[in-house]
Amino acid sequence: MERNSFVRLTAQKIERTDPEFDFKIVIICGLDAGKIIIDGEWMGYFRHKFSKSPFTYEPRSNEFNFHAIPPCKMKATLAEQQIVVGAKFSIFTALKNDWGNEQVFSIAAIHSYDGN
């Protein structure tokens, strides 16, 4: 029987036509035996050029919560998706109460902290 694992996943924005918009997401999270993110509150950061913005990610609401001033939330398509290298997911930012402005990311690397 497979067990849960604790991982660091790194995802890179797919459309990187301008170095100014070279975004990376790093999340520390738990995966179940099916490689789905376990429900909880997971930590990570969103990197843009020389800055890093910390966030928490909650699979239940499928939201990234940035704890900046002012606070910001982004919807995602990451929950209930198998976490494997090459898998794609989207993040949407709210524009006037409309979840638009889609950014597509691809999982570039997964590092397991417990040998799985």
Q: Which domain holds residue 44?
A: 5-112
Q: How many domains does the chain have?
A: 1
Task: Give pTM, 2 decimals.
Answer: 0.83
- For the ranges 1-10, 64-73, 76-85, 98-107, the maximum mean pLDDT occurs at 76-85
**Averaged pLDDT, 68-75:** 79
pLDDT, residue 25, reads 93
**Positive or negative, the Cα torsion across 53, 42, 73, 98?**
positive
> For the chain, what is the largest distance between any 2 Cα atoms, rounded to a whole number of angstroms?
47
- Separation between Cα atoms, residue 22 and residue 31, nearest integer Å: 27
